[in-house]
């Protein structure tokens, strides 16, 4: 097992959130469907909030501001496990865009769960578990939107 300092883990998380924001903004610029653009812009804004949370934790050395006592209940609809389009194009369907976003959020959830495991038994574990829950909630929100769209079309 490789060792990682909390500072390095937070720096990696900050970098991951920046890359996620950049990914969503590139996707936003590429898309033409206004509904898909609105969803992607909202996701990009969530990544900014995550960066702010991580930055505050790094600056203050405290993680109370993320609401460690907040409880969330999530249900994974499993939609993120679907086969994804291989190429992102401007004429992608909203469904394809949402599937890509779901997978992206699910990968972020896994990233934070792995960091939580590395810091088991510490406040940092709670911080990373909370971030994993944030990402799972984003994935579930996207899944629900996807489910609504597919249900409406069928």
Is position 106 within any domain?
Answer: yes
Q: What's the pLDDT score for residue 72?
A: 42
Is position 85 within any domain?
Answer: yes
Is position 12 within any domain?
Answer: yes
Is position 30 within any domain?
Answer: yes
Is position 119 within any domain?
Answer: yes
What tokens appear for 89 in the block? 């194009």
Is position 37 within any domain?
Answer: yes
Q: What's the pLDDT score for residue 84?
A: 53
For residue 64, the domain's CATH number is: 1.20.1260.10
Give the global pTM: 0.77
CB atoms < 10 A from the CB of 27, how many? 23
Domain count across the chain: 1
Given a cut of 70, is residue 37 above it in pLDDT? yes
Q: Which residue has the tokens 């996701």?
A: 43
CA distances from 112 to 14, 33, 91 (A): 11, 31, 32
Residue range(s) defining the domain that contains residue 58? 6-153
Is position 1 within any domain?
Answer: no
Is position 139 within any domain?
Answer: yes
Give per-residue pLDDT as tens, 84-140.
545 667 777 778 888 888 888 888 999 999 999 988 888 888 889 989 988 988 888
Give per-residue pLDDT as tens, 40-69.
899 899 999 989 988 988 888 776 555 444
């Amino acid at each position: 097992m490789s060792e990682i300092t909390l500072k390095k883990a937070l720096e990696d998380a900050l970098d991951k959130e920046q890359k996620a924001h950049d990914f969503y903004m590139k996707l936003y610029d590429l898309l033409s469907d206004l509904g898909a653009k609105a969803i992607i812009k909202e996701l990009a804004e969530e990544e900014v909030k995550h960066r702010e949370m991580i930055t505050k934790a790094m600056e203050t050395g405290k993680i109370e501001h993320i609401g460690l006592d907040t409880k969330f209940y999530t249900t994974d609809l499993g939609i993120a496990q679907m086969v994804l389009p291989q190429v992102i194009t401007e004429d992608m369907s909203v469904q394809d865009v949402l599937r890509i976003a779901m997978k992206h959020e699910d990968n972020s959830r896994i990233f934070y769960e792995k960091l939580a495991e590395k810091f088991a038994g510490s406040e940092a574990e709670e911080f990373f578990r909370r971030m994993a829950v944030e990402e799972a909630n984003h994935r579930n929100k996207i899944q629900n939107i996807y489910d609504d769209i597919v249900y409406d079309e069928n």
